[in-house]
Structure 1
Amino acid sequence: MNTNSNGYTLVYATIMVVVVALLLAFVSSGLKETQNANVKLDKKKQILSSLDVNTEGQDADALYDQYIKKGIVVNSKGEILSETKEEAFDINVKKELSKKLEERHIPLYIAEVDGKTKYIIPLRGTGLWGPIWGYLALDDDKNTVFGTYFSHEAETPGLGANITDAPFQKQFIGKHILNDKDEFVSIAVMKAGKIATNREQVDAISGGTITSKGVEDMLSNCIGQYEEFLQHTTIGGTN
């Protein structure tokens, strides 16, 4: 073949384009798998953080399997739709929240800490500049807060971004989401000096009023989806 001909050049260029495209597709596929694995691992760490489980330098996958005994999917009526841990884990909470309440399939994680059952609720809401999210763990009475984890995409450093800090999050421990009449009322996030009516409260972040309000709304909206389950549904053991 005449290597100086236009035909040879065209064939060579075509082959190189195909080879490069295949290599890029292979690399992209490998990177996507790694990225997906990292996203799942980070999610497990966040869930464990709501139980105050330290994953730093630890095998988070193993810790997740150790503490998270079951994952279930429920609807707003409190009906259990699935008891498959993997199915619950893979649910896109953001997508479900965009649906009408009666159409949602929402995940719940059931953990065991020191022999006691904990119920972990995924949270997602809106702060001042973008999405906020987290997890809230309840004791086996389905009322008392055992722990929380909050994070954000773009809140202001030193202000709204402080929802990730321990002093803010630890305020929720021991608070109750039901009132004395066993009615769901959630937890208020109030400015200093302000008193909530008929529900327990924590202090808002100084200078982070809108983000704090976003956390309050997130708790009310997300926990509220599980009201029927928390008050009326019982399930089997966590094994």
Structure 2
Amino acid sequence: MSQPESIRRHTDAQTLLFITLLSVFCAVVLSVMASALAEPQEDARVLYRSKQMLIAAKLLDSVHGCFLLPGDKEGVYVPAKMNADGYLEKGAFADAATNSEILSLYRRRIVPMLIDKENKLVTFEKAGIDLQAYLEKNRKTGYYRGDYRLIYEVMPEKVEKDKEADPVAYVIPVNGFGLWDAIYGFLALEPDGDTVIGITWYDQKETPGLGANIADFSWQEQFAGKKIFQPNPDGKTNFSSAPIGINVVRGKVSEVIGSVPKAESAVDGMAGATLTGNGVTQAYHDVLVAYREFLVDLNKNNSKESNKGGGAQ
């Protein structure tokens, strides 16, 4: 006797067809969702990296989220806000910047440039290189390798019409390896090509509470004012031969090195994170070696301008 129609079992072919159709349906749904989320995710990454670069350049406060302007004393910054004209004016720490304001300031003040084989600054257009393709291609391996190295110019807050302005700072992308994985950050320098304005490490997978402290403001703030070209024992700097980089010591600089001139190129380490500190030291060295000749020329030109009474404002 044949089974009733209601309880007849499906054949293997029918089961396989159902699984195939279900798999295709799920794949299509996931593909559509991935495509729909790709642009918002990339926008979020661009915003995050923009924030980190502005923090390194002391244009954005990492704690309060407000903009910053140089204060009356060197190395001191005061809270600022964006006015109706899109420029910064003095404000309060409570004046947190919006995402749109952050991107607006970034696009107005930060200019991506390239350093060619002759250690000269060139635009992406002049080099015949597509910016987005370049950023994506070199994101993992680093922007200090190859014939064209990436650097960002930080332009003045206001530029007089029909006048060419000089950058007030430069930002160099830095990457290397910590204890567990790759680390990525930014290093902002004064126009002298030697003095650190600030740093950030925006992408790292170090141990929370230990090596991950490289991303904390309390540790990063000690870099401000440090020199990437290590001074001689007499306090003078021979830019053509001086060791380059920033040394993360095991312990405190005051105890390990003391008050000698080379302490200007060193920062305190992190308890229990010696290997991460070593990775940070190596990253700064490896990257800055590739920029050395450009930075030496930058220092020479800045010294000439300073002797003429010029300099960044």
Q: Same fold (TM over 0.5)?
A: yes
Matches within 5 A, 1:22-61: 22-52=28-58, 53-54=60-61, 55=65, 57-58=97-98, 59=100, 60-61=102-103
Shift of 1:83: 3.7
Number of residues paired by the alignment?
224
Q: How does 1:135-214 map to 2 (within 5 A)?
A: 135-178=186-229, 179=231, 180-183=237-240, 184=242, 185-190=244-249, 191-192=251-252, 193-195=255-257, 198=262, 200-214=265-279
Matched residues in 1 for 2:288 and 2:223: separation? 14
Question: Which of 79, 104, 110 matches 2:153?
Answer: 110
After TM superposition, the score normalised by the length of structure 1 is: 0.77
After TM superposition, list the pairs within 5 Å mapping 1:60-99 onto structure 2.
60-68=102-110, 70-75=111-116, 77-80=118-121, 82-83=123-124, 86-87=131-132, 90=136, 92-96=138-142
Cα gap change, 1:186 to 1:74, in 2 (>3 Å): same
- Between 1:170-179 and 1:80-89, the stretch displaced more is 80-89
CA contact (8 A) 1:78 1:227 kept: no
Asked if the contact 2:109–2:157 (Cα under 8 Å) also holds between the matched residues in 1, the reply is: no
Alignment of 1:115-134 (within 5 A): 117-134=168-185
Q: Gaps (5+ residues) in structure 2?
A: 1-10, 66-95, 159-166, 232-236, 302-313
- Structure of higher RCO (CA pairs closer than 8 Å, 6+ residues apart): 1
TM-score (norm 2): 0.61
Distance 1:37 1:67 in 2: 19
| Alpha-carbon offset, residue 25 of structure 1 | 3.1
Query: Aligned letter for 1:42?
Result: Y
- d(CA) in 1 for partners of 2:211 and 2:141? 25
Cα distance in 1 between the residues matched to 2:155 and 2:200 = 17
Q: Cα RMSD (Å) of the superposition?
A: 3.2
- The 8 Å contact of residues 183 and 201 in structure 2, kept in 1 or not, is answered as yes
Rounded Cα–Cα distance in structure 2 between residues aligned with 1:197 and 1:174: 13
CA separation in 2, counterparts of 1:127 and 1:166? 18
Give the counterpart of 2:282 among 199, 204, 217.
217
